[in-house]
Structure 1
Amino acid sequence: MAKFELKLPKMGESVAEATITSWLKEVGDTIEADEAVLEIATDKVDSEVPSEVDGVLVEKLFEVDDVVQVGQTIAVIEIDGDDSGSAEAPKFEPAKVEAVKETVAVAEVAKTVVAAKETAAPIVNSGDRFYSPLVKNMAKQEGISQDELDSITGTGKDGRVTKNDMLSYIQNRGTQSQEVSTKTEEAPKATPAKATQSKSAPTPVVASGDDEIIEMTRMGKLIAHHMVESVQTSAHVQSFIEADVTKIWNWRKKVKDEFFKREGENLTFTPIFMEAVAKALRDFPMMNISVQGDSIIKKKHINLGMAAALPDGNLIVPVIKDADQLNLVGMTKKVNDLAGRARNNALKPDDIQGGTYTVTNVGTFGSIMGTPIINQPQVGILALGAIRKVPAVVETPEGDFIGIRYKMFMSHSYDHRVVNGALGGQFVKAVKDYLEAWDSNREI
């Protein structure tokens, strides 16, 4: 019998590792080619790792919550045939498995140390406690010290601190800090009443016997953490503007059937709006930036994030890479592809990486405007409101008159640390101008 090493496959240029979330097969189970063996997670996207061969699972080299590097062997499958013509997988004895994990841990620590800011002490593995890169990053972002992290009780394998442990700790951290402060304070100091007021802890919510308690999903917890983190990081301000999209409405109505017949794609409003946003970002490159400490990173590529709904109701943001380089046909195909794969939970980890600016269509749910939260580490996000048929003043060379027009509001949230009101307003005004200047005779 020969043995086949099942390795963690490459999942995109920017994805180097994944966390095992569950094993779908156990040792001794028969596996068919292309059958899923385990589930993995990379930040937001959950994926399955299928077997490349028929055989029997004989060894699992990692457990749930373990972090695995791309290309690492995660399981050994026994297949029919002799060892000739098929490289036999090495026998992974327990001691060797631990050695492999130790090597991975050292590499992860080194990577974290390099990435850490010079002014902050890096988080490292302490004694027999191993911290995954995600846990270290969360600790770094929340300002959790090494001693504080070492004190967190882990619920993972061998007492390892998991993402859920971190989210729970961060959520209750304010209360814990307040208790510790009260216990260690030797004597009250005379200070003004306003200065002694501390941030009040959230009032505990008590569920009655008739209430239903629903556990948040892993993605729900991550989204909640990202949203709170964004509000704490960026100074959010908004600019609102109304655009007359009558020309676009009539043009799309005129060409959509021919477009579908020729391209096999539905022409929605989204790719039209994305095209206008990409043009505006090219005009105002200082909206296509990120903040790193006291520095601004000006992005070379315009990669548009597109908020899309998942089957469970959560939102995910797949990215249209180099959006300013696409014509309307290319933009339509990309938008439809990403939206379709989001609905079917078929997005790949690399599909949600590298965004430089995000657009969200709140009008899909009937909202005429919204105040979206910035998708970090970006500095702006545009919410598109519902298109409404309204009476409006129409200006013509012959005079003004009241007419029926198709209009929509656009809400621009931006990071006031680096984007002032003039730039934020000029950018959304440029998007409006591109939409209102639509060529009614444009060829598809």
Structure 2
Amino acid sequence: MPKMGESITEGTIINWLVNEGDSFEEGDILLEVATDKVDNEVPAPASGKMIAHTFKAKDVVPVGETIAILELSENAKTEKKVSKSPAVTQEKSKGKISSSTSNLSQRVAPLPSGGAGGGRFISPLVDTIARKHHISYEELARIPGTGKDERLRKSDVINYLEKGRPFQFAQAVPEVSGFQIPDLKFDKGKGKIVEMDRMRQMIADHMVFSASTAPHVTAYVEADLTEMVNWRNKNKDAFQKKYNEKLTFTPLFIECVAKAIQDFPMINSTLDGTNIIVKDEINIGMATALPSGNLIVPVVKNADKKNLKELAETTNELVGKARDNKLKGDHTKGSTFTISNVGTFGSLMGTPIINQPEAAILATGIIKKRAEVIERKEGDTIEIRQMMYLSLSFDHRIVDGYLAGSFLRRIADYMEKFDIKRSF
């Protein structure tokens, strides 16, 4: 009986999940134990076979007492009894993986109702594997389980991954209840049928995955870009003459974003299970339209280390290659943060979907002249200013509102405090 806490001296066996004579795998839950504080699950330290239960369900057992005899696999480096210490060393079994889910791709399991996993029990080991591979609880709920009471085992999830995750984008099958959503049989009308090309299918899959994986929250700010717009309009011809490069707003935006990321590095991160990886490099992805109408995200590597000339060269080159369908695989890999300039299409603002596995994405709206009240020492004035909305969609699992709002405001500050005397 493992120790479930500092003050816990005994536990009550709720029920055995692995019967005598049954086999189990590393991480499978052997039994459930209740204490005066909380119910707990006792996982298998390695794969093996249940030889005997030394106590029955409802028995109260002192901590440290032997509750089961296990025969572990040949390569398992653990004792043949449940350890008296709650810290059980776990070694991966080298046995064969069961093929009991061979017909996995031929059916879609209904989505049970309930909480995590649709009301289904998810062991810590299965949960860790799911997080590592970005498998949502809804997706887990559709995987057939081969454990007791159809519980998911490690081998079930591994087999599912090897099958290519057939339920990744499947629709839930509603359960019959007192109220059912009526099948309205919408008339989809008639017209030209356009089959989605491979890229559009990939975009659709990626967006569905991102929306179902990360809890999206969007924050908004407004920025006065008058100084930046005036400087760019004044210097774009001279810049192109000097460097033979067009000076668009994109490198200017990337410059401000890279500075803000340096101030708030947690935005430049990725969730890996229960770990947050804060990236060393600042690689900015730019959502770019292709001639087909699809979007692709070429990446400006090490954006924080490039000057304005280098940023302009890189962005112009990547946009040109994208429009000519000449982008290589390396051009679209490694982004740590993405910008989507929805203003290019005339949009006032947008609520973009996060480019997984990043933590956030910025949308910049159209730059539009507006009458604004400006506070000056001599008093308030009404002036024509160049205004733009910025929106940040962020993964609320790892980014909270304070961080997102502060980061977004910092980007706007860098845009508004643009140095009109800067040289190039």
Once residues 382 and 123 of structure 1 are traced to their aligned partners in structure 2, the CA distance between those partners, rounded to angstroms, is 43
Instruction: Verify: 1:321 aligned to 2:307, yes or no.
Output: no
Secondary structure at the residue paired with 1:252? helix
Contact between 2:134 and 2:213, CA under 8 Å: does it hold in 1? no
Once residues 268 and 240 of structure 2 are traced to their aligned partners in structure 1, the CA distance between those partners, rounded to angstroms, is 33
Once residues 388 and 139 of structure 1 are traced to their aligned partners in structure 2, the CA distance between those partners, rounded to angstroms, is 40
Aligned residue number for residue 215 of structure 1: 195
Instruction: Verify: 1:436 aligned to 2:420, yes or no.
Output: no
Aligned residue number for residue 356 of structure 1: 336
Q: 1:128 to 1:381 in 2, by over 3 A?
A: closer
Contact between 1:139 and 1:149, CA under 8 Å: does it hold in 2? no
CA-to-partner distance for each residue in 1:120-145, whole Å, 9 max, x for gaps?
A: x999999999x9xxxxx999675456
Q: Which amino acid aligns with 2:235?
A: V
Per-residue deviation at 1:171?
4.5
Q: 1:385 to 1:201 in 2, by over 3 A?
A: farther
Instruction: Verify: 1:338 aligned to 2:330, yes or no.
Output: no
Q: Which amino acid aligns with 1:267?
A: L
Q: Which amino acid aligns with 1:301?
A: E
Aligned partner (choices 237, 245, 262) of residue 242 of structure 2: 262
Aligned-residue RMSD, C-alpha: 3.5
Q: Which amino acid aligns with 1:439?
A: D
CA-to-partner distance for each residue in 1:53-95, whole Å, 9 max, x for gaps?
A: xxxxxxxxxxxxxxxxxxxxxxxxxxxxxxxxxxxxxxxxxxx
Per-residue deviation at 1:174?
2.1
Q: 1:391 to 1:140 in 2, by over 3 A?
A: closer
Aligned residue number for residue 403 of structure 2: 423
Q: What is the TM-score when the length of structure 2 is the normalising length?
A: 0.62
Per-residue deviation at 1:319?
0.7
Per-residue deviation at 1:148?
9.7
Instruction: Verify: 1:247 aligned to 2:227, yes or no.
Output: yes
CA-to-partner distance for each residue in 1:99-118, whole Å, 9 max, x for gaps?
A: xxxxxxxxxxxxxxxxxxx8
Going by fraction, where is helix more abundant, 1 or 2?
1
Q: 1:226 to 1:406 in 2, by over 3 A?
A: same
Once residues 184 and 422 of structure 2 are traced to their aligned partners in structure 1, the CA distance between those partners, rounded to angstroms, is 58
Contact between 1:289 and 1:378, CA under 8 Å: does it hold in 2? yes
Instruction: Verify: 1:282 aligned to 2:262, yes or no.
Output: yes
CA-to-partner distance for each residue in 1:262-320, whole Å, 9 max, x for gaps?
A: 11111011100100000000100000000011110110000101000011101111111
Contact between 2:251 and 2:311, CA under 8 Å: does it hold in 1? yes
Secondary structure at the residue paired with 2:172? helix
Once residues 309 and 348 of structure 1 are traced to their aligned partners in structure 2, the CA distance between those partners, rounded to angstroms, is 16
Instruction: Verify: 1:174 aligned to 2:172, yes or no.
Output: yes
Q: Which amino acid aligns with 2:172?
A: G
Q: Which amino acid aligns with 1:347?
A: L
CA-to-partner distance for each residue in 1:370-413, whole Å, 9 max, x for gaps?
A: 11111100010000000001101112222211111101000011
Once residues 257 and 232 of structure 2 are traced to their aligned partners in structure 1, the CA distance between those partners, rounded to angstroms, is 18
Once residues 351 and 292 of structure 1 are traced to their aligned partners in structure 2, the CA distance between those partners, rounded to angstroms, is 24
Give runs of aligned pairs for residues 60-139 of structure 1, distance below 5 A: none
Q: Which amino acid aligns with 1:339?
A: V
Contact between 1:303 and 1:356, CA under 8 Å: does it hold in 2? yes
Q: 1:342 to 1:126 in 2, by over 3 A?
A: farther
Equivalenced residue count is: 291
Once residues 242 and 281 of structure 1 are traced to their aligned partners in structure 2, the CA distance between those partners, rounded to angstroms, is 19
Aligned partner (choices 362, 365, 368) of residue 382 of structure 1: 362
Per-residue deviation at 1:215?
1.1
Q: Which amino acid aligns with 2:213?
A: T
Per-residue deviation at 1:211?
2.2
Instruction: Verify: 1:295 aligned to 2:293, yes or no.
Output: no
Once residues 275 and 101 of structure 2 are traced to their aligned partners in structure 1, the CA distance between those partners, rounded to angstroms, is 35
Q: 1:246 to 1:122 in 2, by over 3 A?
A: farther
Secondary structure at the residue paired with 1:227? helix
Secondary structure at the residue paired with 1:407? strand
Runs of 5+ unmatched residues, structure 2 = 1-91, 106-131, 145-154
Aligned residue number for residue 54 of structure 1: none
Aligned residue number for residue 68 of structure 1: none
Q: Percent identity?
A: 45
Once residues 321 and 197 of structure 1 are traced to their aligned partners in structure 2, the CA distance between those partners, rounded to angstroms, is 53
Once residues 422 and 367 of structure 2 are traced to their aligned partners in structure 1, the CA distance between those partners, rounded to angstroms, is 21
Contact between 2:99 and 2:159, CA under 8 Å: does it hold in 1? no
Once residues 344 and 439 of structure 1 are traced to their aligned partners in structure 2, the CA distance between those partners, rounded to angstroms, is 35
Instruction: Verify: 1:391 aligned to 2:391, yes or no.
Output: no
CA-to-partner distance for each residue in 1:227-284, whole Å, 9 max, x for gaps?
A: 1111111111111111111001110111111111111111011100100000000100
Contact between 2:101 and 2:159, CA under 8 Å: does it hold in 1? no
Contact between 1:368 and 1:409, CA under 8 Å: does it hold in 2? yes
Contact between 1:174 and 1:201, CA under 8 Å: does it hold in 2? no
Q: 1:282 to 1:214 in 2, by over 3 A?
A: same
Per-residue deviation at 1:350?
1.0
Runs of 5+ unmatched residues, structure 1 = 1-117, 132-136, 152-159, 183-192
Once residues 252 and 431 of structure 1 are traced to their aligned partners in structure 2, the CA distance between those partners, rounded to angstroms, is 18
Secondary structure at the residue paired with 1:238? strand
Q: Which amino acid aligns with 2:268?
A: N
Contact between 2:289 and 2:295, CA under 8 Å: does it hold in 1? yes
Q: What is the TM-score when the length of structure 1 is the normalising length?
A: 0.59
Once residues 340 and 171 of structure 1 are traced to their aligned partners in structure 2, the CA distance between those partners, rounded to angstroms, is 33
Once residues 230 and 378 of structure 1 are traced to their aligned partners in structure 2, the CA distance between those partners, rounded to angstroms, is 10
